[in-house]
Structure 1
Amino acid sequence: MVQCEQIGLSYSSAGVTNNTTRANDAARDHDASKVLQDLRFTIPEGAFRWLLGPSGAGKSSLLKLLYLAVRPTCGRLVLMGQDIATIPRHALPLLRRRIGVVFQDFRLLSHLSAFDNVALPLRLAGRPEGPLRADVTELLRWVGLARKMEQRPDELSGGEQQRVAIARAVIARPALLLADEPTGNLDDAQAERLMQLLHELNHLGTTVVVATHNQTLVHRHPAPALILDAGRLQVTA
């Protein structure tokens, strides 16, 4: 499902450096900041992994690589059998549709209701409106937002926005689900309900990667972990 071989990622004043950028740009190399270094790991299809480490360790940067927001500076990244270095540009949107992402800052569309934010991935995939409405309504009820479906993000609390973001990420049953601090704005009961949802998806075959600082949650739900520190993979526990 996910294979990383000697993955590195650097940022410079011009943005992300990648393996298509000219290597002889000495000034760029001098200014580049290495945020991920020599990552080597495999996540099997249908696995659940915690992504752990202190702030600034590189967790969000690794997730960006996995949802194809950036490409590695060096190394080889394979997602769902596709080598990212060689995949045709026209095939990237199809691959991205198989990846669900819960962003730390939610990234909801402010002009759309909660319902329409969650429905968006299904509409982009061409799902008929009848089944779409039934699926979105059921999921929003499950996350406790049955009475908030028609409200826009600015009319929702932080925790409610987070639940909308979670629902949007899982509505299409992605092959790979990436969650960046998904419980940050949730109380304990909501966090446990979220974990129930993630485990259900995982049992249905979705590969799940969750970045978190919530050690209580990690202890309650034991699973293998990728542990980052200063951009390096310290432990695979």
Structure 2
Amino acid sequence: MKDFVEFPNAKIPYSIFLVQNPENLTQEILSKIHKLLYTERFRKIDPKIISFERIAKGKSKALVIHGPKELLKSLNELQLLELEDFSKKLEISRVLSFEVGYLNRGESLEKLITAGIMKGIDLEEDEYFFFQVVAHPAGGVEKNQFQVSIRIAISSQDSVRRATLAKQFNNYLIENLGLSRLEKNQSSSDIYEAFKKRILIPKEVFKFTLTSEQVLGLLRG
């Protein structure tokens, strides 16, 4: 599968930004991002990858976006603040990572619209939860769809606690979102490396397409 993965273009300046006005991340903004990536202005970006990420530490939560700086800085509605990449600071030995896919595709697509990924999180103060949606515009400018790769990373000093949190959250995915942890074909550390690099798994390898409305539903909470 490594022959098929797609990385953000190293020749294009990418960065990560805190969304200071997360309530302004609407379906209209996601549609705007989708359309911008098809314009001549951003034609040089290939592959066209944006990563939406929800983060929790204890009871604190945040929304960040990783993508081409020029594009993201045009989204004044979100009041973006450039950050240092947090994902490179965690000790990988304390992180459990996995990828997420459909449990039942038809059921999943309906649930995702109002789901809210962060509702299933209950962390201690020194624990972290990361939910990543790596997205690439799909289906042409009018389709308003994204090919996505979804990853989850959980950080805790206690290995038993990490495993418990992963199991609890997978149950939440199944019961509330119609999604599930994918069968393990990579190690947790390999998946976390893919998380840090914001790698997209193309549709030729694993087709996972969501509308802007469904992506927004996942990021709620």
Larger Rg: 1
Output the TM-score relative to the length of structure 1: 0.29
